Structure 1
């Protein structure tokens, strides 16, 4: 028996205690320990029932991520769960915290389950491109029926203890959160009442009742839209169906293991596992000591009550931090506060928050027409129009008004943080906090360090991201930083492809077929194409050679995107679905004539290569310049900021999977055919190919 699992008897109950901090994950030692303790309980003649309970803050919360990618050591989890279930004495699982993945499968292998009111259960393997492989797809539907098992397993979402009890997953809900007392009391009741060993694998009533129903066909139809491009939800559905179609539990288990093996070998599993680890690693910033002091952020100011400013303010109110929003005119301020309230009320209507929470959050947000009200704020975030002159003017005023030690942040998506900081006498306190639209929804926070930004301010930015439930990525300062710098290259290629013969909808379809939630042009309409127009104008003012664009003609016609019901596409009231517009086709055709371009037929493959490989090449340059410290920083930026399909692992991981030699050959080909700096091969890309290495090796 392992030292992380102990056995002792309390009266007639043999108590098996798992103590493997922090989350009692199913390491080899835990699996071995549980099996050994169960055997000890079997052999203990005075033990009439056995209880599995965990020390610390949670029941078993899943697999041990430290063992990911390593060969599985025996016993495997399916063997341990079967061993528990085969025991001839009643085994009770006492659940607190979360029983997730293999943890819930262990509980399902027990004969009874009791949970404290605050507990949650779930099978989240699908989020890693897998399915529950230790009987979860076979045992859960025997308790819940097909529909709820399918919903839980294909979504990976958690179920609260109260709901788990109603579904039959949990046999009893405890009165309080004393998990061991609840477990012992229930186990004693099992003994006193002479309750039998009750194996989930032998409970077939729900299977018989639903055999031959069309629930699986209907569920797959729904998945086609909800899980577009994903493999695991469909394999999970196949596995659950096997519980209903197999001649025996053992046959269903065999099918589950076959499907589990298919997913283990898939690229999607590799991509999702990479994304899982990268998200955890991204918070550990190279060169930033763990013990760097972090400033306390108790009050926040936001400049601008528009879409971005309002969304940013909501993040802080959601986290219980008071926010003051500044605007130039009362009318704009009132409108902004009204939209925030409407957003909260819409969320409440969907049942995600209560009406009381709406009022609670609104009470944390107030407005002002003067920066004088920012004098005591710990953090002020500027979220105004992308104009360097305007931002420098604002930061100069903030420098005068704000207290020493206050952090001054810009939400700029492209502009030079160092130039913005130069308008202050405290560049060490200036940082970029680039929220993504809609700011109250999107998870990414791109934290941009200036040349003089202090380590303390960088560390505070990273800590703040966690506090407001964002994924923070620390990046360097350049035009567009990491995300938008790569996006601009993709956007330029998308524009060039349309200039020379593709349609906006063809380009967008290639990108959505790849797995993006929306294409380049639909995304531009959502954000507002006037933003790109203003960025181009700023670059032209700065003396850059920015070529003419048919997009500028759309802006001139007042087609700014979804907010004007027309951009590259047109829109109908109450519907965000982009509709191709013949007027735009004509504008593009006229532009081609003006520029002397003879349109040609462009293949989907060329669109994919030019839109994706140009991003990879730019990402390599970003790494080479030290704007991003690691390729995983780029991957996480794109997954959480731009909807890059997580099952592909991010652009740099995807490039490693495709083959850097293949990408370099294409980059060189387009450099010759298309020209332009964006197709000049990255020295880092060339070096990695020459050394037969990957971005992941850096």
Structure 2
């Protein structure tokens, strides 16, 4: 184990460091030379501040190897007399959380994951030297927990911080259940964890999750300045596990937890892990943060090996995998921005597809064959959006702005604006053939022409087209604005750019 230039050993040895240590012009500097490109951290000294950079592109996910490197460099920095303070940051982004493929290995093997709370407590929050997180981009899940364990947090204007672990069937496992409620208050912390919604930089500052929001160029200088101010005693060094100023009286806290449990049971009556998460938070509020960490660890390990956790992680990985299609996404094709979608047919499926598109921020042309059918289709879209308002998922103001993005038409006059067309009429071959013959004349050459058919061969639909290779299948699942699955169907001659679009 390398302790740095001073050789001090008064911080606990938590990880064996197998990474070479080099000295550059008297500056503390460490890097991985044995496995360049592997998940790691780099450390160098700037003005008495050890800057430790997380490196595991593209999102700096917390692979066990990266965590070992982080704790090793923290140990060295805490033990080195030339270091006055520590800044933890990420290359291009902070960290989007624990490495999911590594997490799956624990689920499949049944092994217990290492308890990260001791090194978090000893090296990030409670070491001899103060720590500040310099956050650019995402600080989510375990990444947010690393940041919260630091004594201060500075972020850029585009940063996002949050704990979305419940979407994977688990709970925050690196101290998040205990630190977040103490930093932002119990009610806000519970809300953030249960909804899994991150806070953007201004909201994070208002909530007390970060200490300052700065321009990207000022991120490291500001973080270093705060860290040195803490080291000199000019700035207060805050240890989040010890904070009490936002912890409300016990009676009020109990009411918050009771209300949260009622909401969870109403919204997700079959899910247990959100309730277990609330148990861990409440346990820590009532019995202290260290007892809360122990409870968090117990609940976390229960959730890791539960059926729900395995299923939700599978869904996450599957959705991630759909973004990579061999021969399509690996060809360096341009990413066209689709701003306008034309939908043919305002029935249940067509109106659902149109709703899905306007919810995604795109303009929609909804075409029907007569005024009555068109009015019915537009009313279905209004009902879909109105349902979201009634359920509290959208404000009335946002609903009106969303509905303003759809325009009803009875002909192809405006179809030159369309970047993508989705045909969703009845399953009648002659009708579909006629429609695509007309679409080829009405739309731009770069417009993607797709059909929502689930039964008819694409070659048959394109039989009357001059360029049948333009057609592609876009099979939505009903209701289209609710179901996240989209089946993209290509023929042997479909250009890769069309599938990519």
TM bin, normalised by shorter chain, reads 0.7 to 0.9
SS at match of 1:447: strand
- Give the drift of 1:224: 0.9
Aligned equivalent of 1:91, options 104, 124, 131: 131
SS in 2 for 1:214: helix
What is the Cα deviation at residue 353 of structure 1?
7.6
Structure 1 residue 366 displacement after superposition: 4.4
Q: Paired residue for 2:197, among 151, 157, 160?
A: 157
Matched, 1:142 2:182: yes
* CA distance, structure 1, for counterparts of residue 75 and residue 258 of structure 2: 43
Asked if residue 198 in structure 1 is aligned to residue 256 in structure 2, the reply is no
The alignment status of 1:70 with 2:97, answered yes or no, reads no
User: What is the rounded CA distance, in whole Å, between the counterparts of 2:326 and 2:76 in structure 1?
Assistant: 47
Give me the whole-angstrom Cα distance separating, in 2, the residues matched to 1:154 and 1:8.
38
Corresponding residue of 2:275: 234
RMSD (CA atoms): 3.6
Evaluate the alpha carbon distance shift between residue 360 and residue 177 of structure 1 in structure 2; reply closer, same or farther with a 3 A threshold.
Answer: farther
Per-residue deviation, 1:282: 2.7
Deviations 1:629-670 (A, max 9, x none): xxxxxxxxxxxxxxxxxxxxxxxxxxxxxxxxxxxxxxxxxx
Q: Relative to structure 1, is the Cα distance of residues 234 and 376 closer, same or farther in structure 2, using a 3 angstrom cutoff?
A: closer
Q: Distance in 2 between matches of 1:221 and 1:315?
A: 30
Among 303, 308, 323, which residue is 1:268 paired with?
A: 308
Say if 1:67 and 1:213 are closer, same or farther in 2 by CA, change over 3 A.
Answer: closer
Shift of 1:341: 7.0
- The answer for the alignment partner of 1:40 in structure 2 is 76
> Computing the radius of gyration over CA atoms, which structure comes out larger, 1 or 2?
1
Please say if 1:256 is aligned against 2:296. Answer: yes
More strand by share: 2
TM-score, scaled relative to structure 2: 0.78
1:185 paired residue among 198, 222, 225: 225
- 1:237-386 aligned at under 5 Å gives the runs 237-246=278-287, 248-285=288-325, 290-291=330-331, 296=336, 300-313=341-354, 315-316=356-357, 323-330=364-371, 332-333=373-374, 336=377, 352=394, 362=404, 365-371=406-412, 373-374=414-415, 377-386=418-427
Q: 2:221, 2:47 → 1: CA distance? A: 13
1:258 to 1:73, Cα distance in 2 relative to 1, 3 A = closer
Structure 2 SS opposite 1:118: coil
For 1:482-561, list aligned pairs within 5 A: none
Q: Counterparts of 2:417 and 2:244 in 1: how far apart (Å)?
A: 65
CA contact (8 A) 2:166 2:193 kept: yes
Pair 1:445-2:445 in alignment: no
Deviations 1:447-484 (A, max 9, x none): 233xx452426x633x34xxxxxxxxxxxxxxxxxxxx
Measured in 1, the distance between the counterparts of 2:210 and 2:447 equals 50
Equivalent position SS for 1:68: helix
How far residue 146 of structure 1 moved from its aligned partner, in angstroms, is 2.7
User: 2:61, 2:399 → 1: CA distance?
Assistant: 34
How many Å separate the matches in 1 of 2:402 and 2:258? 44
Q: Which has the higher helix share?
A: 1
Structure 2: segments with no counterpart, 5+ residues: 1-18, 20-30, 33-39
Structure 1 residues 429, 27: CA separation in 2 closer, same or farther (over 3 Å shift)? same
- Per the alignment, residue 560 of structure 1 pairs with none
| Whole-angstrom CA distance in 2 between matches of 1:320 and 1:216 | 36
How far the C-alpha of 1:298 sits from its partner, in A, is 6.4
Query: Is the Cα contact below 8 Å between 1:292 and 1:455 reproduced in 2?
Result: no
Please show how residues 298-697 of structure 1 align to structure 2 within 5 Å.
Answer: 300-313=341-354, 315-316=356-357, 323-330=364-371, 332-333=373-374, 336=377, 352=394, 362=404, 365-371=406-412, 373-374=414-415, 377-399=418-440, 401-402=442-443, 406-449=447-490, 452-456=491-495, 460-461=498-499, 463-464=500-501
TM-score normalised by length of structure 1: 0.58
Q: Is 1:117 aligned to residue 157 of structure 2?
A: yes
Whole-angstrom distance in 1 between the partners of 2:466 and 2:332:
23
How far residue 422 of structure 1 moved from its aligned partner, in angstroms, is 3.0
Cα pair 1:124 1:157 within 8 Å, conserved: yes
Query: What's the CA shift for 1:243?
Result: 0.4
User: C-alpha deviations, 1:5-32, integer Å up to 9, x for none?
Assistant: 2222322433222232211221233212
Matched, 1:6 2:29: no
Please give the alpha-carbon distance, in whole angstroms, between the structure 2 residues aligned to 1:117 and 1:304: 42
Counterpart position of 1:20 = 56
- Residue deviations 1:198-220 (CA, integer Å, cap 9, x gap): 32222245557226733323321
Aligned to 1:30: 66
CA contact (8 A) 2:355 2:384 kept: no
The CA distance in 1 between the partners of 2:215 and 2:466, in whole Å, is: 59
Is structure 2 residue 142 aligned with structure 1 residue 102?
yes
Taking the aligned partners of 1:46 and 1:414, their CA distance within structure 2 comes to 71
Give the conservation status (yes or no) of the 8 Å contact 1:433–1:448: yes
Aligned partners of 2:95 and 2:140 also within 8 Å: yes
Q: Displacement of 1:59 after TM fit?
A: 1.1
Alpha-carbon separation, structure 1, partners of 2:441 and 2:143: 56
* Contact 1:434 1:447 survives alignment (8 Å): yes
Match of 1:214 among 251, 255, 279: 255
Q: 1:398 to 1:262 in 2, by over 3 A?
A: same
Superposition deviation, residue 333 in structure 1: 4.2
1:357 to 1:180, Cα distance in 2 relative to 1, 3 A: farther
Unaligned runs of 5+ in 1: 465-698
Deviation at 1:129, TM superposition (A): 1.0
Deviation at 1:440, TM superposition (A): 4.0
